[in-house]
Amino acid sequence: MMLLAFNSFLVAMLSVPIVTLISHRWRKGRALPAALLMGSLVVGTAVAAVGFWRGQRFQVDISQVASFSFALSMDRLSAFFLLLICSVSLPVILFSSSYIPRHYSGARRHWLWVLLPLFLTSMVLVVTSSTPFAFLFGWELMTLFSAGLIVIDGDSKQRRHNIFIYLVMMHAGAAAVIGAFLLFLPHASNFAQMRDSAALMSPLLRTAVFLLAFAGFGTKAGIVPLHLWLPRAHPIAPSPVSALMSGVMLKTAVYGLVRFAFDFLGSGPSWWGYLVLFAGAVSGLLGVLYAIGEHDLKRLLAYHSVENIGIIYLGLGSALVFTANHSSVWAALALTAALLHCLNHAIFKSLLFLGAGAISDAAHTLDLEELGGLQKRMPLTGTVFLIACCSIVGLPLFNGFVSEWLTFRSFLAGSEMTNLSAAIVLPLAAGVLALIGGLAAACFAKVYGVGFLGRPRSGEAGRANEVSLPMQAGMGALATACVVIGIFPGLVLRSLGALTEELLPGAALPPEATSLTVVLPWIALFVLVLVGGFAGFKRAKKLTATWACGLPGLDERMQYTSPAFSKPLRKVFSRVYRAERTLEVVPGDPPYFPVSISYRSVRTTSFEKFLYRPGVDAIVTAALRLRRLQTGNIQIYLLYIFAALIALLMFMRWA
Amino acid sequence: MTLMTNVLQVLLLILLAPLVRGVISRIKARIQNRRGASVWRPYADVLKLFRKQDLVPASASFVFRLAPMVVFTTTLVVAAFVPLLHGSALLGVTGDFVLLVYLLALGRFFLMLGAMDGGSSFGGMGASREALVSTLAEAPFLLALMSVAIAAHTASIAGMVQWTMGQNFFQFSAVYALAFAALVLVAIAETGRIPVDNPTTHLELTMIHEAMVLEYSGPSLALIEWASAIKLTVVMALLIALFVPWGMASSVSALALGVASLVMLLKIAALVLALALVECSVAKLRMYLVPDFLGVASALAILAVVFTALMR
Amino acid sequence: MGLFETAAAKALASSGVFLFMTVLLIAAAKRISTCIALFSVQSLIITAQIIAVSRMHHSTEGFVIAGLVLSVKVIAIPYVLYRIVEELKAPRDVSSSTSSSQSVFIAAGLILLSFFAVRPYVGVLGGDQAMLAAAVALVLTGGFLMVSRKKALMQVVGLLVLDNGIFLAALTTTFGMPLVIEIGIVFDLLMGVFLMGLFVFRIRDTFDHLDVSKLRRLRG
């Protein structure tokens, strides 16, 4: 039954592009691709939900027919990530079904409906594959299709440069992932074999596998300093695609790391855990600090993806430290926290990117300086955006809090370790997480306060209107999920506990983890009753002008701007930004009234300057040197072939 | 009976909070050689504001009126976390310190949004400064509470208080002096008192909290003022409960509770006096020195966590 | 165990932490006079430690040393330094090359470093780990103060903190040096402070400021 449903899901997904190409000639067939895609995603969600909650497994093996080992299978971990992919992309597609026709026409629209299902299918392939071949096949396709989706929005020089960086980094990452798989040779035909052979590997080889997987998946996940592509690629994609890339695609990298570190390798030395923990702490802090400095909404959100991947890595790192110290119960808690944060981030980050799409749809800009007052013009979009902001900040009663709380509790549990370094490092990591949370709160108070509250800062924002119904419905569904998981986390926690028990044998979720599920509904009820009571209690209300110190003429330009809001924090953390400022003053006559003043402040992160620039320069120099081999003379090329032949013969004889 | 006591504790905290504020300003007035207003003045203020009408800027959205309600409600929930008369509280057993810190953050987040909804530059200014202070205060707040939680082997507030009560004062490790010092600094920042923020100022250069609530009036302002009074009292009660809980009732009987409330009143009075003295003798810090102030708190909290982990 | 012994043991156990706090506060302090007051408090804590140790070992010599430290380090030297600060009428800030919160974090790092540095030797040398670590931490932060503060007077304060550390190390490992040596050291210090005071006045009179970093101009 499950197998049949899964197969029909795959077939339906793959048929969407064909249907698009056939149906675009008829006017009535326009809605067909979206409907078919949503229908197949519903089936996929159902399959994944059954697999996740009931723990059913099945396998699709076409190795016999296909001459290479290609098999898909589903265990609880796959089912969880499949659920994440399908359930989050369903509202995104619902949103797109109205967004895409409004913004794209002709060939570009068809290309979107062709590439979107293929992109989704490639992600499904990644999380359900059970052979390295299938995994890498899906992994590469995922990169290519997402790059294709970015190209649809245009290919100016700047955009091509950004896409180039995206592709180069993704392929470097993929090379590391392939390397990690190759180290399992000759026992690398399927995952089960790899699991068995990993136990027999030498510690050095295991470490090599771990490091390659860490680097490869880290590139996809966007941990600092491998995050460079994120703020470049996400802002230039169509908003629903950004939602899928940031909310869903990054999670496949987490899936890969979990699969390698917990499923294949089992456990390792505790420095693996500290490495992941450190990467998480640095990514989290720098991600949110860079985000605070931004006022382009989508770039800001892209940096927040770096931050949230950092939080997920904090959970994963502490789980690795716990497994290294043979305390699988606490490892289960930390792993649950990380996985739940994957789901939560998928939900609220997709919602935020869809909100950005709705804003650009209504106000035609994503620059916070041009927005403002949108809450009154777009009540529903504003409200769901507020819910998403509360979730990403990790405030109680919203889903982000639950996973951050679990991470905090795992850090506290770290103090129970007999190993002294774990007992000190893990509790201190809680301080980092708290700082990240505080910075995120400041950042989203800025985003929502400047973007949605106050008065409109531009005519466009003042004329904005609420978006269409399917777009509202898509965002509303995601916002509902944020609140439901935030108040009743028990719905997912129990099954996640079963999942971690599968990965870490003998690790039931500790009872402390469920104390939150008891207290949150009560708090929610109390808050609802009290706020409802206050709101119901009709108070005399009078509309007035904003107080302007008794002077007339307060206008929207006098409001606090986004850079002004973040200035104190940027000043305190000025070492992170290293802004290069130039101030040019053309003095007038008299000198007190300058003719013109121009001020320019450019921020390049130190990573670009000190890490990537020398590397790129070295590669370019090497390439220039190698160019000497290319003379263009045909006889020289023949000489190369001849020399290669001789060398091969000698190698065969004496090596 | 226990449930009734717990409800009583929350009610006491809520109802006595304006009095604490009144007493502080009265003591400060006496120190500064003024007569000062009556200690009941904050009650009169809140009552007066509740009877007035709400003035709402025409450009503001529903967030403007929602924010004070959220602030008040979350502060009430936090009040239910803190043991006052005996080693338990309404939510103190299941509610842990992370939830407490983040509930306060929830209220603060909405207050910042409400401030920015007014559409004046004051609101944005206050929110921006509050963002700075609260961001930097969050980590030491959590770490200081964490160090107590490590020592007590529990995360629930009531559990920590009961653990401290079980300790002999002379065996009580001095490491908690570090956590206590960190928490005092954080509490000053969190409740917006001198030297971080001046609750009585209306000068653009200095105000933080007052700038945020400048646009509010009537019942909304009453809720905010009352909530900030409750927050001050709750933070004081938390400090007492975590570090000097001795004297709380060990059993729930009328006599024990009576004695406990008397002792608690004395402790709060001592804290109030100390706060008033500090506020009269210290100048408010320049805003860019506040990170230094909170940096000291962070260093103390980090040392507290490391030492509790070492000494355990 | 009588009440006094309990209190003495308690004072010993907690004094390490209180010393750490004075160290952090000196690092955070912005005015020279605050640093001097904190040094005085620090010496007072050490006096209490001497009394507690000598009480536990029933030595009368210890009380003499305690009285000496009390009169010289808690009262005399801080008083002299205060007078110098007042007489100088120079700006009273410590003019540090690191910001206040940076200094605190550095000091906290030094404390942790010293804590882990003395761990292997606690068993060998005897004595309480916190006290031994506090001694090393005092030496390190004293050095740090001398390196990072630009005012000549702060270098005196740094030296005094450093000396407190050495004194404490001797106290924790060998229960103090012989009386004669202690007296010698204490008076040496007193003379040193007087001499430094004289130098500070000379520097001020010649250059009109106390910023040692500007002494570089004396290079030929």
C104 vs B170, B181, B295: nearest CB: B295
Residues of A in contact with B138 (CB under 8 A): 434-435, 437-438
Domain total of chain C: 1
pLDDT at A540: 72
A526 vs B55, B77, B309: nearest CB: B77
ipTM for the predicted complex comes to 0.96
C21 vs B178, B294, B298: nearest CB: B178
Contacts for A521 with CB less than 8 Å, ≥ 6 apart: A487, A488
pLDDT at B246: 87
Yes or no, beta carbons of A454 and B119 under 8 Å apart: yes
Band (pLDDT 50/70/90 cuts) for residue B95 is confident
Band (pLDDT 50/70/90 cuts) for residue C127 is low
Lookup: tokens for C102: 């940076």
B295 vs C14, C21, C105: nearest CB: C105
Band (pLDDT 50/70/90 cuts) for residue C126 is low
CA distance linking residue A619 with residue A621, whole number of Å: 5
Yes or no, beta carbons of B302 and C108 under 8 Å apart: yes
For chain A positions 435-494, those within 8 Å of chain B (CB to CB) are 435, 437-439, 441-442, 444-446, 448-450, 452-455
Using only C-alpha atoms, chain A has a radius of gyration, in whole angstroms, of 26
- Give ∠ CA A248-A250-A255 in degrees, rounded to 5: 90
CA distance linking residue A606 with residue A290, whole number of Å: 12
How close B229 comes to chain C (CA, Å)?
A: 30
Q: Could you give the percent of chain B with pLDDT greater than 90?
A: 66
pLDDT digits (tens, 9 = 90+) for B112-164: 999 999 888 899 999 999 999 999 999 999 999 999 999 999 999 999 999 98
Contacts for A382 with CB less than 8 Å, ≥ 6 apart: A374, A375, A376, A452, B61
Residue A317 has a CB neighbour count (10 Å cut-off) of 25
Lookup: tokens for B16: 């006595």
pLDDT at C87: 81
pLDDT digits (tens, 9 = 90+) for B201-221: 888 888 899 999 999 999 999
pLDDT digits (tens, 9 = 90+) for C204-216: 767 666 666 666 6
The type of residue at A608 is E
Backbone angles phi, psi at A254, to 5 degrees: -65, -40
Residue B171 pLDDT more than 70? no
Sketch the domain layout of chain A as residue ranges. 273-531, 606-654
pLDDT digits (tens, 9 = 90+) for C174-197: 766 677 777 777 777 777 777 777
What parts of chain A have a pLDDT lower than 70?
A: 538-539, 604-605, 655
Domain that holds residue C121: 3-218
Q: Is there a contact between B144 and B182 (Cβ–Cβ < 8 Å)?
A: yes
Residue C124 pLDDT more than 80? no
How close A143 comes to chain B (CA, Å)?
A: 37
C17 vs B177, B291, B294: nearest CB: B177
- Give ∠ CA A411-A412-A413 in degrees, rounded to 5: 90
How close C176 comes to chain B (CA, Å)?
A: 24
Lookup: tokens for A215: 């680097």
Residue C1 pLDDT more than 60? no
Residues of C in contact with B174 (CB under 8 A): 13-18
Question: Best interface-test mutation with C: which of B169, B288, B300 has the largest number of C CBs within 10 A?
Answer: B300
Domain total of chain B: 1
Q: How many CA atoms lie within 13 A of A85 on its CB side?
A: 33
Of the candidate ranges A584-593, B252-261, C87-96, the one whose mean pLDDT is the lowest: C87-96
Is the bond preceding residue A590 a cis peptide, omega within 30 degrees?
yes
Lookup: tokens for A230: 């994120």
Lookup: tokens for A314: 């904090």
Nearest CA in chain C to B175: C17
Report residue A122 CA to chain centroid gap.
16
CA distance linking residue A635 with residue A639, whole number of Å: 6
Highest mean pLDDT of the ranges B155-164, B249-258, C124-133: B155-164
CA distance linking residue C20 with residue C1, whole number of Å: 28
* More reliable by pLDDT, A362 or B88: A362
CA distance linking residue A199 with residue A195, whole number of Å: 7
Band (pLDDT 50/70/90 cuts) for residue C100 is confident
Q: Is there a contact between A422 and A270 (Cβ–Cβ < 8 Å)?
A: yes
The predicted model gives C41-53 an average pLDDT of 87
The predicted model gives C92-100 an average pLDDT of 79
| Residue that is written with structure tokens 């970093």 in the block | C213
Residues of B in contact with A446 (CB under 8 A): 131
Tell whether A431 lies on the interface with B, counting CB pairs under 8 A: yes
How close B173 comes to chain C (CA, Å)?
A: 7
Lookup: tokens for A330: 């606490």
CA distance linking residue C80 with residue C76, whole number of Å: 6
Q: Is there a contact between A114 and A140 (Cβ–Cβ < 8 Å)?
A: no
pLDDT at A478: 96
pTM above 0.80, yes or no: yes
Q: Is there a contact between A475 and A91 (Cβ–Cβ < 8 Å)?
A: yes
Q: At what angle do helices B97-117 and A399-414 cross, to 10 degrees?
A: 140
pLDDT at A64: 78
Residues of A in contact with B149 (CB under 8 A): 412
Q: What average pLDDT does chain C have?
A: 80
For chain A positions 539-568, those within 8 Å of chain B (CB to CB) are 539-548, 554, 556, 558-560, 564-568
pLDDT at C125: 59
